[in-house]
Chain A
Amino acid sequence: MPNDTGPNFQQNVSRALDDQQLRKNFKFAMGNFILKRKQIFSDESETEQLRQIGNTIKQRALGQLPQLLERLEQNCTRNGIRVHWAETTAEANQQVLGIMNANEATRLVKGKSMVSEEMGLNEFLQEHKIEVVETDLGEFIIQLNDEKPSHIIVPAIHKNKQQIADIFHQKLPDTPYTEDVEALNAIARRTLRQKFYKAQVGLSGVNFAVAETGTLCLVENEGNGRMSTTVPPIHIAVMGLEKVLERLADIPPMLRLLTGSATGQLITTYVNMITSPRKPGEKDGPTEVHLIILDNGRSAILSDPQLRQTLQCIRCGTCLNHCPVYTRIGGHAYGFVYPGPIGKILNPQIEGLKKAGELATASSLCEACAEVCPVKIPIPQLLRRLRNESYTSEHLATVKDGGYKKNLMETLAWKGWEIINTHPQINAIGNKIMSRLGARLPRIGPLKQWTRYRTAPKLAPKSLHQLVDEEGIRHE
């Protein structure tokens, strides 16, 4: 059903805005998240301090990213974790497949991982005849329905319980229709327990990787992450290279920021810190642990000091929750892996401006996201930067496909605007002419879009400059 993550943003937007059920589901969910975050971060000044700490920790880490990754690799290797490096998502997919094949494995269970979405891992593995089972409840639901996640933290948020009941009833064998949430959860638990039991490989993302100790930190509420990373004999962790932190001591504040921002919790049910595979004498845990470090354009982003801030993201999803645009169009409309404000700055940098640049215009720059970002990414500022890049001459641009939007009409329009606003006499004459042309301006060009929802603005008969003259206000 509606799962089109095709690149036609305007089409996606129209469809989303017309979908009353979708709008209702998102409005309810986002309102909830906003309230929860307010409650968990009720002390404003402490929250500000914490956000500043988060920002500093991430900036310091990014400022030494290669050194930290090398240290992480060293410590992981010393601990027995096998580290792989992938420049592209294709390479990362091959690495996962390679590990599966080396172990003759055909059954994989997955914890939630946005990087694995970026890789298109599920489709890739399925093409190679591997059973991939999403074990996070939200991911499980959308996997059954052949959909992509619409939110970073709660992938099935666009569905209400009737829709979910329907999916379970249609897609799971011997499953009656029930809207009771407890019953639905019990169905998922029963079904997935079998999968955990039988799985040969478990795959997870990484919330934070600690360079100092070679430790992978994962947070979750359901227990599916621990199941996936402890029961099967092989654990593969996939991670964007920007997720590495310098020290173990960085974990407490980052954890507080992540759980508070993502779900409004003081702490998740489980925090799972993995430093090695099963050691001699230990009875369980995977005997092999792999870490795949993915680049996919992140190293290019790092090279720009301003755009580098994009990499501070800890994937909490709170910018989505507070965004008036996301609330109305939902996650699928964005058409790329990452929705919401973070998606608007990340997707164009990964995919290039030609493909994803329009996302950067889909913001009123209201700053609601920047106000709550736990690591203080100045998203509106980065949106402006991407807009600048869209019109900059190609040879001066930093982002892929820079200058793709450059066109004569807009160039002239803004030049004209500049001339009017730097030449007071022209400005004054312009105002007089416009106000005489009639109270209402003609509905052409930009005004055509404006007047689909509003009446056109009326120009006043006398400008403020004229009124000020009449009042005899001093000019210096």
Chain B
Amino acid sequence: MSDSSRDQILNRLHAAIGEQRQVIPEPAGLPQESLDRSQKIEKLKALMEAVRTEVHVIENQDWTTVLKDILKKRDLRTLLYAPGTPVGDRLPKAWMQESDELPELVTYDGDIEDFKEHLFGIDAAVTSTVGGIAETGVVILWPDEKEPRLMSLVPPVHIAVLQADKIYSTFSEALQTEEWAQNMPTNVLLISGPSKTADIELTLAFGVHGPKELIVLILNENR
């Protein structure tokens, strides 16, 4: 049934366009500002903080120390992380000696079908990112087998680790530089802050269905 609908629809659409070879030239590009690294960090930080993201720029420090300090300030029982990733692999060692004061490290055991109940009870998750965009203030996530999609959605606290040299000035720049069109993954996420809504009298309230808190650690190794 869908097939014949398909044919009917496409036939009508082809007839509708007809012989019209109206050549509409490609759209102009908007002038793209190109920022240097420190400008990008500054812009991204400012925009994300404006939507209540907590942003830490880490320069001459071990980022796991900063992460631990952040976690100690909060009452979190569990932290979901991804072993086998550069971010995840740092954690077990960093937790040694201090694990009493820190949330328990938990891994995404099995598929969602088996892990769902556990997942919905986890307090926080830490993930890597593939980059950020300064123009709009977002981090970019490409979830994969090691870092599943729901890590950055279900736990109420999400910590994202961002390499400063992977911050692009604009979304277009990110798309072009990394040639996304050649190789789109299952899911790409742009995240700017904790979840929010203004559906009630346009009053902004944070922490709806996505995480209530987003914390971004920008790793800015000095050159």
A85 touches B6 (CB 8 A): yes
Q: A249-B176, A285-B149 are in contact. Are A85 and B189 (CB under 8 A)?
A: no
Stretch at the interface among A266-274, A337-345, A452-460: A266-274
A276 to B189, CA, bound (A): 14
A48 to B186, CA, bound (A): 35
Cβ of A221 within 8 Å of any chain B Cβ, yes or no, is yes
- In angstroms, how far is the closest chain B Cβ from the Cβ of A429? 49
Q: A56-B24, A66-B17 are in contact. Are A283 and B200 (CB under 8 A)?
A: no
B108 touches A283 (CB 8 A): yes
Would you give the 0/1 interface string for A283-303, flagging 1 where the beta carbon is closer than 8 Å to chain B? 111000000010100011011
Cβ of A305 within 8 Å of any chain B Cβ, yes or no, is yes
Chain A residue with Cβ nearest B110 = A283
Cβ of B106 within 8 Å of any chain A Cβ, yes or no, is no
Main secondary structure of the interface of B (DSSP, over half): loop
A284 touches B149 (CB 8 A): yes
Instruction: Please name all residues of chain B whose beta carbon is closer than 8 Å to the beta carbon of A302 when the two chains form the complex.
Output: 12-13, 16-17
Cβ of A87 within 8 Å of any chain B Cβ, yes or no, is yes
B210 touches A222 (CB 8 A): yes
Instruction: Please name all residues of chain A whose beta carbon is closer than 8 Å to the beta carbon of B16 when the two chains form the complex.
Output: 65, 299-300, 302-303
Partner of B137, one of A223, A226, A266, A305: A266
Partner of A282, one of B9, B186, B200: B186
Cβ of B192 within 8 Å of any chain A Cβ, yes or no, is yes
Cβ of B196 within 8 Å of any chain A Cβ, yes or no, is yes
Q: A86-B5, A267-B136, A295-B9 are in contact. Are A63 and B110 (CB under 8 A)?
A: no
A116 to B109, CA, bound (A): 36
Cβ of B98 within 8 Å of any chain A Cβ, yes or no, is no
Partner of B186, one of A84, A85, A227, A277: A277
Cβ of A399 within 8 Å of any chain B Cβ, yes or no, is no
Cβ of A251 within 8 Å of any chain B Cβ, yes or no, is yes
Q: A184-B200, A221-B197, A270-B190 are in contact. Are A63 and B20 (CB under 8 A)?
A: yes
Stretch at the interface among A190-198, A352-360, A362-370: A190-198
A135 touches B209 (CB 8 A): yes
Interface size class of B (residues with CB under 8 A): 35 or more
A266 to B210, CA, bound (A): 19
B208 touches A249 (CB 8 A): no
Instruction: Please name all residues of chain B whose beta carbon is closer than 8 Å to the beta carbon of A442 when the two chains form the complex.
Output: none
Stretch at the interface among A125-133, A154-162, A432-440: A154-162
Partner of A270, one of B189, B198, B200: B189
Instruction: Please name all residues of chain B whose beta carbon is closer than 8 Å to the beta carbon of A29 when the two chains form the complex.
Output: 201-202
Partner of B175, one of A188, A249, A276: A249
A230 touches B191 (CB 8 A): no
Instruction: Please name all residues of chain A whose beta carbon is closer than 8 Å to the beta carbon of B113 when the two chains form the complex.
Output: 233
Cβ of A104 within 8 Å of any chain B Cβ, yes or no, is no
Instruction: Please name all residues of chain A whose beta carbon is closer than 8 Å to the beta carbon of B189 when the two chains form the complex.
Output: 226, 270-273
Partner of A253, one of B27, B181, B190, B193: B27
B5 touches A181 (CB 8 A): no
Q: A185-B197, A284-B111 are in contact. Are A213 and B116 (CB under 8 A)?
A: no
Cβ of A279 within 8 Å of any chain B Cβ, yes or no, is yes
Would you give the 0/1 interface string for B80-108, flagging 1 where the beta carbon is closer than 8 Å to chain A? 00000000000000000000000000001
A95 to B2, CA, bound (A): 9
Q: A69-B13, A230-B149 are in contact. Are A279 and B120 (CB under 8 A)?
A: no
B30 touches A181 (CB 8 A): no
A10 to B120, CA, bound (A): 50
A249 to B188, CA, bound (A): 15
Cβ of B62 within 8 Å of any chain A Cβ, yes or no, is no
B195 touches A160 (CB 8 A): no
Chain A residue with Cβ nearest B18 = A303
Residue picked from A32, A59, A274, most chain B C-beta under 10 Å: A274
Chain A residue with Cβ nearest B180 = A248
A300 to B17, CA, bound (A): 11
Cβ of B10 within 8 Å of any chain A Cβ, yes or no, is yes
A141 to B197, CA, bound (A): 13
Chain A residue with Cβ nearest B28 = A53
A57 touches B17 (CB 8 A): no
Instruction: Please name all residues of chain A whose beta carbon is closer than 8 Å to the beta carbon of B26 when the two chains form the complex.
Output: 56, 60
Q: A197-B116, A241-B9 are in contact. Are A85 and B2 (CB under 8 A)?
A: yes
Instruction: Please name all residues of chain A whose beta carbon is closer than 8 Å to the beta carbon of B175 when the two chains form the complex.
Output: 248-249, 251-252
A413 to B143, CA, bound (A): 67
A53 to B172, CA, bound (A): 14
Q: Which of A134-184 contact B (CB under 8 A)?
A: 135-138, 141, 154-157, 160-161, 164, 181-182, 184
A28 to B200, CA, bound (A): 12
Would you give the 0/1 interface string for A75-111, flagging 1 where the beta carbon is closer than 8 Å to chain B? 0000000001111000100010000000000000000
A91 touches B1 (CB 8 A): yes
Cβ of A278 within 8 Å of any chain B Cβ, yes or no, is yes
- In angstroms, how far is the closest chain A Cβ from the Cβ of B9? 5
Would you give the 0/1 interface string for A204-240, flagging 1 where the beta carbon is closer than 8 Å to chain B? 0000000011110000011110110011010000000
Instruction: Please name all residues of chain B whose beta carbon is closer than 8 Å to the beta carbon of A313 when the two chains form the complex.
Output: none
A397 to B95, CA, bound (A): 75
A273 touches B188 (CB 8 A): yes
Would you give the 0/1 interface string for B165-191, flagging 1 where the beta carbon is closer than 8 Å to chain A? 000001110011000110011111111
A276 to B142, CA, bound (A): 13
- In the complex, besides A227-B210, A275-B187, A284-B148, 7 extra interface pairs with C-beta distance below 8 angstroms are A135-B209, A222-B208, A223-B195, A223-B210, A269-B196, A285-B186, A302-B13
Q: Give B contacts to A, CB under 8 Å.
A: 1-3, 5-6, 8-10, 12-18, 20, 22, 24-30, 47, 51, 108, 110-113, 115-116, 120, 136-138, 143-145, 148-150, 153-154, 170-172, 175-176, 180-181, 184-203, 205, 207-211
Could you list some 24 contacts between A and B, CB below 8 A?
A: A50-B30, A52-B28, A66-B14, A86-B2, A86-B5, A95-B2, A137-B197, A137-B208, A156-B200, A181-B200, A181-B203, A185-B197, A185-B205, A189-B207, A221-B198, A224-B209, A226-B209, A266-B47, A272-B187, A272-B189, A273-B188, A285-B186, A299-B16, A300-B16
Q: Give A contacts to B, CB under 8 Å.
A: 28-29, 32, 46, 49-50, 52-53, 56-57, 59-60, 63-66, 69-70, 84-87, 91, 95, 135-138, 141, 154-157, 160-161, 164, 181-182, 184-185, 188-189, 192-193, 196-197, 212-215, 221-224, 226-227, 230-231, 233, 241, 247-249, 251-253, 255-256, 263, 266-279, 281-285, 293, 295, 299-300, 302-303, 305
